[in-house]
């Protein structure tokens, strides 16, 4: 059985000017030593995607976007289509991040449309799921995550090989709080079990599930050592080259 894909992705969010972003990419390129285990992806803001794409042409670091609109073209002022992303070399797209759900009121229906749009154009969606602190404390964490994952029922079986899931407990994003490896593993295992019930065991085993939420060089090894944690979606720590390179280096290499 082939080993499922492992990914370390850096989400720059709304940070970095053109000069700063290209400087960060050059530092990452200089320090990155690919070993064939993890695929490394950077997700700059829209304004940097094209220049970063050019800067990564001779690199094994992949390019991702932070968001996408679900129509290919039209009168949608301010939006960026999957056609535009594909055209400049984007391979991965973050979809349904909790900040999109919170600040821009994206619901499951919208997220599903975006997942389908990304797949339609041969890119890989990183579907973000996760509960708030209130939802966890009220015992609804699994219910919330299961509801967010349920949109995958609408995805053809053949497309599931391109789906990546990122479990990001909302209470751990940008707060400095990190789910313990045991707590994270428990939710990752639940996600995999849920996918198995929706599809089958083979699909569930092969879907990469990343952890996100205050990932740092000092905690990434313990997190990625867990059986069902296949990498990390890194926020603030991906904005510093030394920090992000240390995360890549420190992430556990394991055999399933």
- Residue 173 DSSP class: S
CA pair distance 169, 192, nearest whole angstrom? 16
What are the residues facing 41 on neighbouring strands? 9, 62
The catalytic residue among 131, 135, 168, 226 is 168
Point out the catalytic residue in the list 97, 99, 131, 226: 97
Residue 168 falls in the annotated catalytic set: yes
Q: 6-250 adopts what CATH topology?
A: TIM Barrel (3.20.20)
pLDDT for 194: 98
pLDDT tens per residue, the chain (256 residues)? 347 999 999 999 999 999 999 999 999 999 999 999 999 999 999 999 999 999 999 999 999 999 999 999 999 999 999 999 999 999 999 999 999 999 999 999 999 999 999 999 999 999 999 999 899 999 999 999 999 999 999 999 999 999 999 999 998 877 777 789 999 999 999 999 999 999 999 999 999 999 999 999 999 999 999 999 999 999 999 999 999 999 999 999 987 6
Domain boundaries, the chain: 6-250
97 catalytic? Reply is: yes
On whether the CB atoms of residues 139 and 103 are closer than 8 A, the answer is: no
89 contact partners, CB below 8 Å, separation of at least 6: 53, 56, 63
């Amino acid at each position: 059985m082939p080993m499922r894909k492992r990914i370390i992705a850096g989400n720059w969010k709304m940070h970095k000017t053109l000069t700063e972003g290209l400087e960060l990419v050059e530092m990452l390129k200089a320090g990155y030593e690919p070993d064939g285990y993890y695929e490394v992806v950077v997700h700059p803001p829209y304004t940097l995607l094209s220049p970063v794409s050019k800067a990564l042409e001779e690199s094994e670091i992949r390019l991702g976007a932070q968001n996408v609109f679900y129509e290919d073209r039209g009168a949608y002022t301010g939006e960026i289509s999957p056609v535009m992303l594909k055209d400049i070399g984007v391979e991965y797209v973050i979809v349904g991040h909790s900040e999109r759900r919170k600040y821009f009121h994206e619901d499951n229906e919208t997220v599903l449309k975006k997942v389908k749009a990304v797949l339609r154009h041969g890119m890989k969606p990183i579907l973000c799921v996760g509960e708030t602190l209130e939802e966890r404390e009220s015992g609804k964490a699994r219910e919330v995550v299961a509801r967010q994952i349920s949109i995958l029922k609408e995805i053809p079986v053949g497309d599931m090989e391109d789906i990546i899931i990122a479990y990001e407990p909302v209470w751990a994003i940008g707060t400095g709080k990190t789910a313990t490896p045991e707590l994270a593993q428990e939710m990752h295992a639940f996600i995999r079990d849920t996918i198995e019930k929706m599809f089958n065991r083979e699909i569930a085993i092969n879907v990469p599930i990343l952890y996100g939420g205050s990932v740092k060089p000092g905690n990434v090894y313990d997190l990625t050592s867990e059986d069902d944690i296949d990498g990390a979606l890194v926020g603030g720590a991906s904005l510093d080259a030394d920090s992000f390179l240390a995360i890549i280096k420190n992430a556990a290499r394991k055999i399933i």
